[in-house]
Amino acid sequence: MEVLTKAEEQVMHLLWNLGPSYVKDLVAAMPAPRPAYTTVSTIVRILEEKGFVKHEAHGRTHRYQARVSKEAYGSRSMKRLVRDYFEGSPKELLSFFLDREKLDAQEVDALLKLIRSKRPS
């Protein structure tokens, strides 16, 4: 699975949230200043070439939808992040996060509970 640009990720997030959409719907859902229709159309076509998006023809227009789920892309992105920046160690990622975030006692307890629930028997 390829790495997406920020603009491509923005369009994918819109497709994940909106579901099947026309380019005009994607443009309308973007924050101001909105990119040009042709810019978004180009991004969607690139995403289709990369295999992230598919389309249905409706007359002269196309309705696009995600082929890759948000969960699948997120999982792949997280694995790449851990591999590239934390020597492949989830422990190093968690240590980095804990060193930089100010967590209150409740958040720490919730994380510990989550970790314990995932511990293999």
Q: Is the pTM of this model over 0.95?
A: no
Gap between the terminal Cα atoms of the chain? 32
pLDDT of residue 3: 85
Domains of the chain listed by start with CATH number: 6-66 (1.10.10.10), 88-121 (no CATH)
Q: Which amino acid is at 21?
A: S
Lowest mean pLDDT among 1-10, 53-62, 64-73: 1-10
Residue 1 has pLDDT above 80, yes or no: no
Mean pLDDT of the chain: 94
Sign for the CA dihedral angle at 38, 72, 112, 83 comes to: negative
What is the rounded distance in angstroms from the CA atom of residue 89 to the CA atom of residue 79?
10
Contacts of 88 (CB under 8 A, 6+ apart): 82
What is the rounded distance in angstroms from the CA atom of residue 121 to the CA atom of residue 104?
29
Instruction: Assess contact for 51 and 67: CB atoms under 8 A.
Output: yes
Nearest CA-CA partner of 24 in 1, 40, 43, 7: 40
Residue 37 has pLDDT above 90, yes or no: yes
